[in-house]
Amino acid sequence: MAKTLHLSSEEEEVLAGTEGPGRQRAMEIVATLGRIYGAERLLPIVHAHIAGVSYKNLGDAGISFLQEWAAEGAQVVVPTTLNPMGLEEARWQEIGFAPEFALPQLKAIDVFRQMGIRPTMSCTPYLFSEYLPRVGAHLAWAESSAVVFANSVLGSYSNREGGPSALAAAIVGRTAAYGLHIESARRANWVIDVAVPLRSIADFGALGYVVGKTVGNGVPYFRDLARWLLPLPPREQLVDGSPAVDRLKTLGAALAAYGAVALYHIADYTPEAISSGKEIIAPDARHLRVDSLSPALAAMDADPDVTAIDLVTIGCPHASLHELALVADFLQGKRLRTKLWVTTGRITRQRGLEAGYVQQIEVSGGMVVADTCAVVAPLRSLHIHTMATNAGKMACYAPAHSGVKMRFGTMEQCLQAAVTGFWPVSDG
Ligand code: F3S
């Protein structure tokens, strides 16, 4: 029998427009999604995260839509953050972005500011201590790599929202109770055995490719992945990043990009796998054994004939403070021959400045670029034709979104390419 969405009297009033057209429009979106997906009620959320904010995605029509909504009095009522936009606000001229792109982009961000949204411009809201959600917190996040991290590593609850639906949820402070907000949907329907060593962030991206391609939007349960991960740091230090945080954010991003995974579990490691044990696996779960990463590495290293690299990019999802430290350490005493962007959130960049990592990277000739990334920035206008990355998601999206040829490898290979200008010849 079809389920009926029941709204509280307060929610009905918002829907009827008694609190103004901005909130009414938002409630219409949230309630419509609830009806489509069979929700019986709405849930309060503690945080929203809005994606699709680059002018590349929004275009003029998107900005007009946002301006109209803001003019209707739309204001967010929960802490709300923004995904990367198409440029770095502080240095867009220095980097070489054209005013024709920059000015409308900055206008869009101003509209978000008017609505009360914090302009964090990062895909890793979980790396900012004031937004780190708690186990069991309900969220409306619209960045697939962040959603999978929140659900899997933090034990919070979010569906993969679209940009407008996350904004609507932020304006009414509610989302519809369906999908991953419901316990029963969080059981694993795939059991994964990984029979290959995982030695780098790049290997975790490659694993995300193999598993994502197979399970699609399923929920994988990794039976033996913890042996390739150091323990997670205590909650208050998660925001610094760590070898485990950096690997898991890359794994999730690739699972979400090559499949549509929004939640995974790791035996004896992630919160729900620990609290529920084997109960977290559905009885009819299917099985996948990963014996090789070679097909993934071959697909992601899409243009092996390319040797000269225009841009090396590290930080997809946005680099943690720990990754800034790794890059700074590698580059000590070196000069770069090609462009290096270490992309990160402005909050992490500021922390990196305080720690001296940003200065170390930039004195070598690299840039720690805030607010954007090589997928959402208009790279073609910067004359970037070839790129190298250690991130599975970047290898998936940049060729299509930014028209570049792609080399994929470890962070060390990428940084070596930045030092010499050429992709390093492999030993084997
Ligand atoms: Fe973030 Fe851009 Fe990668 S938004 S997840 S750095 S493609």
Look at residue 87 and tell me whether its pLDDT is greater than 60. Answer: yes
Q: For ligand 1, is residue 125 a contact (CB within 6 Å)? A: no
Angle at which helices 21-36 and 9-16 cross, to 10° = 120
Closest atom, ligand 1, to C-alpha of 398 = 7
Q: For ligand 1, is residue 394 a contact (CB within 6 Å)? A: yes
Closest atom, ligand 1, to C-alpha of 253 = 5
Q: What is the mean pLDDT of residues 23-34?
A: 98
Residue 183 neighbours by CB distance under 10 Å: 10
Q: Is 67 exposed, middle or buried (0-12, 13-18, 19+ CB in 10 A)?
A: middle
Task: Output the CA–CA distances (angstroms, integers) from residue 185 to 141, 174, 176, 180, 189, in the order listed.
Answer: 17, 19, 14, 6, 10
Kindly report the CA angle at 172 between 142 and 125, in degrees rounded to 5?
A: 35
**pLDDT tens digits, 134-189:** 999 999 999 999 999 999 999 999 999 999 999 999 999 999 999 999 999 999 99
Q: For ligand 1, is residue 343 a contact (CB within 6 Å)? A: yes
pLDDT of residue 189: 98
Closest atom, ligand 1, to C-alpha of 374 = 2
Closest protein CA for atom 3 of ligand 1: 316
**Sheet arrangement for strand 188-194:** 265-266, 220-222, 188-194, 281-290
Ligand 1 pocket: which of 251, 318, 348 to mutate (most atoms <8 Å of CB)?
Answer: 318
Closest protein CA for atom 2 of ligand 1: 373
Fold (CATH) for 9-179: Aconitase; domain 3 (3.30.499)
Residues 6 or more apart whose CB falls under 8 angstroms from that of 75 comprise 22, 115, 116, 171
What's the gap in Å between 362 CA and the centre of ligand 1? 21
Contact predicate 209/300, CB 8 Å: yes
Closest atom, ligand 1, to C-alpha of 315 = 6
Q: For ligand 1, is residue 85 a contact (CB within 6 Å)? A: no
**pLDDT tens digits, 235-287:** 889 999 999 999 999 999 999 999 999 999 999 999 999 999 889 999 999 99
Q: For ligand 1, is residue 373 a contact (CB within 6 Å)? A: yes
**pLDDT tens digits, 311-365:** 999 999 999 999 999 999 999 999 999 999 999 999 999 999 999 999 999 999 9
Closest protein CA for atom 1 of ligand 1: 317
- Give the class (CATH, top level) of 301-420: alpha beta
Residues 6 or more apart whose CB falls under 8 angstroms from that of 276 comprise none
Q: Which amino acid makes up residue 275?
A: S
pLDDT of residue 214: 98
Look at residue 428 and tell me whether its pLDDT is greater than 60. Answer: no
Ligand 1 pocket: which of 53, 81, 85, 123 to mutate (most atoms <8 Å of CB)?
Answer: 123
pLDDT of residue 76: 98
What's the gap in Å between 344 CA and the centre of ligand 1? 9
pLDDT of residue 91: 97
Contact predicate 157/182, CB 8 Å: no
Closest atom, ligand 1, to C-alpha of 343 = 6
**pLDDT tens digits, 105-134:** 999 999 999 999 999 999 999 999 888 999
Nearest to 415 by CA among 373, 376, 364, 372: 364
Burial profile 208-220: b = 16 or more Cβ within 10 angstroms, e = fewer? bbbbbebbeebbb
* Domain chopping of the chain, boundaries: 9-179, 187-293, 301-420
pLDDT of residue 236: 86
pLDDT of residue 285: 97
pLDDT of residue 426: 72
Q: For ligand 1, is residue 86 a contact (CB within 6 Å)? A: no
Distance CA 23, CA 142 (A): 19
Arithmetic mean of pLDDT over the chain: 96
Look at residue 3 and tell me whether its pLDDT is greater than 90. Answer: no
Q: What is the mean pLDDT of residues 367-387?
A: 95
* Residue 427 pLDDT grade (very low, low, confident, very high; cuts 50, 70, 90): low
Nearest to 204 by CA among 323, 293, 271: 293
* HSE value, Cβ hemisphere, 13 Å, CA-based, for 110: 9
Parallel, antiparallel or unpaired: strands 188-194 and 405-408: unpaired
Q: Which amino acid makes up residue 93?
A: Q
pLDDT of residue 137: 97
Nearest to 254 by CA among 206, 286, 311: 206
pLDDT of residue 1: 59
Rounded to 5 degrees, φ, ψ at 117 are -90, 140
* Residue 2 pLDDT grade (very low, low, confident, very high; cuts 50, 70, 90): low
Q: What percent of the chain has pLDDT over 90?
A: 95
As a dihedral over the C-alpha atoms of residue 260, residue 191, residue 127, residue 369, rounded to 10 degrees, the angle is -50
Q: For ligand 1, is residue 393 a contact (CB within 6 Å)? A: yes
Check for a shared fold between 9-179 and 301-420: yes
Distance CA 274, CA 4 (A): 34
Strand partners, 80: 48
pLDDT of residue 130: 86
What's the gap in Å between 8 CA and the centre of ligand 1? 37
